[in-house]
Amino acid sequence: MSDNRPIGVFDSGIGGITVLKALRARMPHENLVYLGDMARLPYGTKSAETVTAYSLQTTKHLLTHDVKMIVIACNTASSVALAPLQKALAPLPVIGVIEPGADAAVKATKTGHIAVIATEATVRVGAYVRAIHARAPDAHVLQEPCALFVTLAEEGWLSGDVVEAAAHRYLDPLFNRKNAPDTLVLGCTHFPALAKTIRKVAGRGVRLVDSAETTARAVEDALDIQGLATKRKTRGKTKFLATDSAERFARVGGIFFGEVIRPKDVEIVDLQFG
């Protein structure tokens, strides 16, 4: 049987488009619907309770598009809301980005010294530290919250003096030390957009890991195992939804997606806040 229902993907903003792009590259025949909660960005500075409430509202809207699976393309929401979402939406499969990212980090490191950069909320709950230690109990994991990277990425400032200065401020303490990490986890879906600068500042020998690729693989496996994959051979459609700022979503999201997104391609949705 061919299941042609879309996969629902959400993030606080446009960062999750890095995951969306990986999903589309891996499963070009699947339909995708992406919701960026631009009206309430950032999630990364908010409490676990607030992020969980926002994530529940966001997924509730995606359900109106008859999705067959939810992908949380946001590390912050994956860190604090994965279990509540899985419980609330069962039997609908819900996949987050933390476990696939931790897998990739453990495979990438040679020395066992790993650094994680993420939002304040992801660092606070230690989601990556836990997931990495579950796979490699002896790993040394350093973490650093880098909230400003989210703002820079949403602004479309992906390189240049300002990004470099911020990168030095955040990364120098992680890498200018004995036993510096050989692997750096980009633990926020906004950060791959800044990868060029991050690589330059962290040092060329450092392996950058992001969860986009590994999450796409986990989604593909889950669809296959549960018999939810499409059998269609034509290209799937991607639908963009946002809670605000269609123009900004299109302008900066297009850079993340690597394809033009026009403001009229972005449907503004009301999640009935309040």
Catalytic residues: 74, 188
Of all residues in the shown chain, the one whose CB is closest to ligand DGL is: 44
Q: By CB under 6 A, is residue 15 in contact with ligand DGL?
A: yes
Instruction: Candidates 41, 98, 194, 266: give the one binding ligand DGL (CB under 6 A).
Output: 41
Nearest to 68 by CA among 19, 1, 17, 117: 1
Q: By CB under 6 A, is residue 197 in contact with ligand DGL?
A: no
Taking CB under 6 A as the criterion, which residues in 51-90 touch ligand DGL? 74-76
**Angle at which helices 161-175 and 147-155 cross, to 10°:** 160
Instruction: Candidates 6, 36, 44, 181: give the one binding ligand DGL (CB under 6 A).
Output: 44
Our CB check for ligand DGL shows the closer of 8 and 15 to be 15
What whole-number distance in Å separates Cα of residue 7 and Cα of residue 92? 11
Name the token pair of 135.
């796979």
CB of 191 to ligand DGL, least distance (A): 8
Phi, psi angle pair for 72, to nearest 5°? -85, 95
Q: By CB under 6 A, is residue 252 in contact with ligand DGL?
A: no
Instruction: Candidates 104, 150, 261, 266: give the one binding ligand DGL (CB under 6 A).
Output: 150
Alpha helices in 64-97 (DSSP H): 75-89
Binding range to ligand DGL, per CB under 6 A, among 36-44, 131-139, 251-259, 261-269: 36-44
Give the three-state DSSP class for 217: helix
Q: By CB under 6 A, is residue 11 in contact with ligand DGL?
A: yes
Count of residues that bind ligand DGL according to CB under 6 A: 17
Nearest to 122 by CA among 95, 85, 94, 150: 150
Our CB check for ligand DGL shows the closer of 219 and 229 to be 219
Our CB check for ligand DGL shows the closer of 16 and 93 to be 16
CB of 153 to ligand DGL, least distance (A): 8
Instruction: Candidates 59, 189, 230, 245: give the one binding ligand DGL (CB under 6 A).
Output: 189
Q: Where are the beta strands (DSSP E) in the chain?
A: 7-11, 32-36, 69-72, 94-95, 113-118, 140-145, 183-187, 207-209, 238-242, 266-268
| DSSP conformation letters of 121-158 | HHHHHTHHHHHHHHH-TT-EEEEEE-HHHHHHHHHT--
Instruction: Candidates 190, 218, 256, 269: give the one binding ligand DGL (CB under 6 A).
Output: 190
Q: What is the β-pairing status of strands 69-72 and 94-95?
A: parallel
What whole-number distance in Å separates Cα of residue 184 and Cα of residue 114? 6
Instruction: Candidates 34, 43, 240, 257: give the one binding ligand DGL (CB under 6 A).
Output: 43
Site for ligand DGL, rule CB under 6 A: 11-13, 15, 41-44, 74-76, 119, 122, 150, 188-190
